[in-house]
Amino acid sequence: MSFTGYASLLADEVGQVLRRVDAGEIEQLVAAIIHTRRLFLDGRGRSGLMMRAFAIRLTQLDIHCHVVGESTTPSLLPGDLLLVGSGSGETVTAVLTARAAHAQGGKIGVLTARPESTLAQLADMQVRIPAPVRQNSSIEPVATTQPMGSLFEQSLLLLLDTIVLLLKDRLRRDEATMMARHSNLE
C-alpha cells in the first residue's frame, strides 16, 4: 500500500473510534475539569505522552494541572481530580496512583478501552475509547491494521484535543490568550 493509502486508512480508523465515543461521558469529564481546583494527569508509555501533550494545552488554557511523577507535582488534596489515560486500564503504576488518589479523597477519571478494567472500576467517571488493546474488552473495538495500541493512542490524542476545543469555547479563551501562555523559554 502507498503512503496515501495508509494515511487515509489511519485517518478513517481514528474517525471511526471518535464517532463511537459517548458524548455524555465527554460532557461529564469537561464539567469535572472546569470545576476542579487542580487537575493531575497520568499515563504510561505512549498514552502518557498523549496526557503530557494535553497538559501543555490545559496550561495554555490557564487550567491548573500537574503531570504525575514530575518533580514539581504537589500533593493531591481532597476534591482534586486525577485523570488517567490507559488503554488496558491495568497498568500497575497507574492503578497504584489511582488508589493513592482515592485514599486522599481525590476524584478519578479514566480514559480507557476497557470499562471492566481495574482503573475503570476505581473511577468516578470514565470515557470509553473503542480501540483495540492487549486485553479483550467488553466493548467491540474498531478494527485496525496498525500495530499494538497505536489506534488507541492516536484516538486518545485527538479526543484530548477535542476536549481542549470544548474547554476553549466554554471558558471563552481565544488563540491570542493561549499563545500568550505558550512557553517563551524555547
pLDDT of residue 14: 95
Q: What are phi and psi of 42, to 5 degrees?
A: -145, 155
For the domain made up of 3-179, the CATH class stated in words is: alpha beta
Cell numbers at 147, concatenated: 500495530
Name the strand (E) or helix (H) holding 118.
helix 118-122
pLDDT of residue 132: 85
Pick left, alpha or beta for residue 137 (phi over 0 → left; psi -120 to 50 → alpha; otherwise beta). beta
Sequential pLDDT tens for the chain (186 residues): 899 999 999 999 999 999 999 999 999 999 999 999 999 999 999 999 999 999 999 999 999 999 999 999 999 999 999 999 999 999 999 999 999 999 999 999 999 999 999 999 999 999 999 998 877 777 777 788 877 889 999 999 999 999 999 999 999 998 888 888 888 777
Write down the domain spans for the chain.
3-179
Tens of pLDDT, residue by residue over 70-104, are 999 999 999 999 999 999 999 999 999 999 999 99
Longest dimension (CA), the chain: 52
Which residues are known catalytic residues?
153
